[in-house]
Amino acid sequence: MTSVCVIGIYVDDIDKAVEFYCEKLGFKEAQRYDDGCIVRLENDGPPVILEKVEKRNNIEYPGKSQIVLGIETDDIEKAAKEMRDKGVEFLHKNPQAFVAGFAMAMRDPSGNVLELLQFTNE
């Protein structure tokens, strides 16, 4: 049997990434490794590891194969407003309907795409 034990995210500026994930999205910094180029963040799900790399991600979204970190919420409009108030910029002005509910995409400071998700029971 297999399970997800950690989510790794490559970032080109570790300090900007920690600020984004902690101050804007609510993650908590748990530990820094290897002279600060690797940072473990905690949340209600698997730990997230930020790792410093040299180049920023400029992948096209949507339309290209990629991994997208999903952050679940019960109220996408409220969560999006709270994130916007903290400076998060979404790729769409309003939630986008998809087969399982609603989504709003954003990019972290390194260009990685994240989706704020609200699943419906219908």
In the prediction, which pLDDT does 9 show? Answer: 94
Average pLDDT, stretch 71-99? Answer: 95
CATH of the domain at 92: 3.10.180.10
Mean pLDDT of the chain: 92
Global pTM reads 0.88
Tens of pLDDT along 87-102? Answer: 999 999 999 999 999 9
As for how many domains the chain has, the answer is 1
31 belongs to a structural domain:
yes
97 belongs to a structural domain:
yes
1 belongs to a structural domain:
no
For 9-36, b where at least 16 C-beta lie within 10 A, e where not — what string?
bbbbbbeebbebbbebbebeeeeeeeee
13 belongs to a structural domain:
yes
Tens of pLDDT along 12-48? Answer: 999 999 999 999 999 999 999 978 899 999 998 899 9
Return the biggest CA–CA distance within the chain: 48
Range of the domain at 24: 7-119
